[in-house]
Amino acid sequence: MIHRPLQQLAVAKDAAMGILLAYIGGWLPEMVPDRKLLNDKTAIVTGANTGIGYAIALRIADMGAAVYLACRNEEKAKNARESILKTYPNAKVHVLVLDNASLVSVKAFAKDWNYGPIDLFFHNAGIGQTADGQDFTEDGFEYVYQSNFLASFLLTHLLESQLSPEARVVFTSSAASYHGVIRDTFALSKTQNVVETYFHARDDSHKYSNSKLMQAAFARALQEYFDLDPENKRLAFSFEPGLVKTNIAEGFCKTFLQDPYSWIVAKTIPYFGLDISQGAVTGVHLATSSRDEVVHNKGRYFDRMKVRMHYVDLYSKEKLDNLWTRWSADAEISWT
């Protein structure tokens, strides 16, 4: 048995490695995932009109899957679809509207889903930070928390019955998740119009980090939930795409004093960042690979196609259960 101090050291090592690889990823050899034929598969990719989501959709479409671009802006999603079809004229690509900042939209998306079993479910939609004064959604939740995490939690629950027996659920997390902190003191009941320290954020500048930490925690918790069924073959994962040249950095703090880490990220991405195609590789790998290093590490966090230790690996069952309780309360669902 590995003692906890050694586990913490292993996490710290992988955290440092993950952050380093994120910065130098653009200089490293290209990653190449196994090519799979997905002609009989159906995939949902949220936030697929641009960036990593678009790159995931492009790769999955090339493999033959029927891909549903679930996006807030229908016009931009249609443009993304046309772009994919120009590259792969025979691709099966469809557009659906989904706005994570509105739980009404999330519920409508789930209610209207009638396109068959979901084999690949990519939770990719998200934001960096909000504009000044845009603290809460129309539902009363901290904006980044709902957009990056709570909406995905609710949508996964609502579409659980639509998941195929061997479905894979993949969350686009971030190395920034290592900077997040969730303490055991968070409320277990629904909490609105409040930014709860050490739940929504370590401080005002780490909302993004905590939302990405929740994705990694949920991937682990969701896998444990799936595995309550001894016959389960569904898999959940979270992954770090690297510092990718996307527009999400535009939402980060604009001054060094506000948030040194985010400022450095925003300024260095143009020089060190990965092409979006490379940012999608690990997510596609997790969704399609049958390799032992993937299927035997279900529920885990990956970076550059390799499993990494994460702080969520040290979370107790009680902490994961309490997080599940809080998320369910915020989403107003009973999920047991």
pLDDT of residue 229: 96
Q: How confident is the model at residue 1 (pLDDT cuts 50, 70, 90)?
A: very low
- Measure CA 21 to chain center: 19
As a whole-number percent, the residues of the chain with pLDDT over 90 amount to: 74
Beta bridge partner(s), residue 301: 238, 308
Q: pLDDT digit string (tens) for 251-288?
A: 555 566 666 666 666 666 666 667 889 999 999 999 99
**All domains of the chain, ordered by start, with CATH?**
4-25+35-331 (3.40.50.720)
Distance CA 141, CA 212 (A): 16
Q: What is the pLDDT of residue 243?
A: 80
Nearest Cα neighbor of 236 from 161, 303, 300, 283 is: 300
Q: Which of 180-189, 199-208, 299-308, 310-319 has the lowest mean pLDDT?
A: 199-208
Contacts of residue 8, Cβ cutoff 8 Å, sequence gap at least 6: 314
Residue, of 18 and 143, whose pLDDT is higher: 143
Q: What integer is the mean pLDDT of 79-89?
A: 98
pLDDT in tens, 295-323: 999 999 999 999 999 999 999 999 999 99
Q: What number of CA atoms fall less than 13 Å from residue 231's CA on the CB side?
A: 1
